[in-house]
Copies of this chain bind each other. A is one copy, B any other.
Amino acid sequence: MVRVGVVGYGTIGKRVADAVALQDDMDLVGVVVRRYDWRASMAVRRGYKLFVSHDADLKSFASRGVEYEGTVDDLLERVDVVVDATPKGVGAKNKQLYEKHEVKAVFEGGEKHEVAGVSFIATRNYDEAYGRRYVRVVSCNTTAIGRVVGALHERIGVRKARVAIMRRAADPWESHRKGIINTVVPTLKVPSHHGPDVRSVIKDLNIVTMAAVGSHNLYHLHMGFIEFREAVSRGDVVEVLEEEPRVVLVRGSDGVAALNTLFELGRDLGRSRGDLYEIPVWEDSIKVEGSEAYLIWMTPNESNVVPDNIDAIRAISMLEKEGRKSVEKTDRTLGVLSKLY
């Protein structure tokens, strides 16, 4: 049983905490928050022990007469591994705490590769993270590309992948303070950082990405132009994606028309928060011409990295030697499907 702490209780942290709590080989010792507000109260409701960061607003606890279990240092004394799901850049600063308390740590995609030294997508490079002290689970977009394009690369061999990303402007919970209306904002740093980030996991993948932000807050849409080393059939591509864990095929002809349809589908599945962990690829969009495939998929950005976080904990804690087995176990506990419907 590995003792786990979660530092940061935002979009990713709260989902990882829930996922850890579902594992029979992990014990969720507690979560670290910065203040007591409605979000922290949700953690309490779930029975999670609250610890406070060094920069916490302690008055927010005192004014409501709420007790906390201890500080982040207290938590770190009681755990073997932390998942650091703090905002971009904070994880790098927290690393010295983890060094001091000699706990292993999983960082998220907001941190630089160098913070952990190993970037991670469970279905791609589990072995590389096995037994390491630190690992970084890459961002939602990078994970999605790593699953879809990475699978095609492993099984068929990609000569060059080109991916256009239409990002969401904000997540639902933060849409009151961040967002754009009625426009598209191109990311003028070309290629976007996603391509190099995928290569931090899949070193031999030739990939280039471009991105733009749209006027919506649900999910990212990716369009991939995937050039293979040799001619392929459409059947080959479909088969690879059908067999790939955490990738599912959906069809516009079944009424799965757009991002919002998938959002509703996630809610109908009855999962916590309506989360999707899988990358849905529109089967009707898959077209092969010679040695190139064109296809469109979606990244459920709030939740798709959650299973990878669980596998990352398992890898660095040496709870499971085989990546395939860890992925299967995680997927069973989270209810990850090979078909959404």
Listed in ascending order, the chain A residues whose CB lies under 8 Å from chain B are 162, 164, 166, 180, 182-186, 188, 190-191, 208, 210, 212, 214-219, 221, 223, 225, 252, 257-260, 282, 284-287, 289, 292, 294-296
Q: How far is the CB of A183 from chain B (nearest CB, A)?
A: 4
Q: How far is the CB of A257 from chain B (nearest CB, A)?
A: 6
Cβ–Cβ contact A186 & B285, under 8 A: yes
**Nearest CB to that of A219 among chain B residues?**
B184
Given A164-B223, A287-B190: A214 touches B184 (CB 8 Å cut-off): yes
Given A188-B285, A217-B182: A210 touches B257 (CB 8 Å cut-off): no
Cβ–Cβ contact A214 & B285, under 8 A: no
Cβ–Cβ contact A185 & B286, under 8 A: no
B-chain residues with CB within 8 Å of residue A219 when the two chains form the complex: 184
B-chain residues with CB within 8 Å of residue A223 when the two chains form the complex: 164, 186, 210, 212
Cβ–Cβ contact B294 & A208, under 8 A: yes
- Known A-B contacts: A182-B216, A186-B221. Give 12 more (CB < 8 A): A162-B225, A166-B184, A184-B258, A185-B257, A188-B252, A188-B282, A190-B296, A191-B287, A208-B292, A212-B221, A214-B214, A215-B215
A208→B185 CA distance, assembly (Å): 23
B-chain residues with CB within 8 Å of residue A259 when the two chains form the complex: 183-185
A208→B217 CA distance, assembly (Å): 28
B-chain residues with CB within 8 Å of residue A214 when the two chains form the complex: 166, 184, 214-216
B-chain residues with CB within 8 Å of residue A190 when the two chains form the complex: 285-287, 294-296
B-chain residues with CB within 8 Å of residue A183 when the two chains form the complex: 216, 218, 258-260
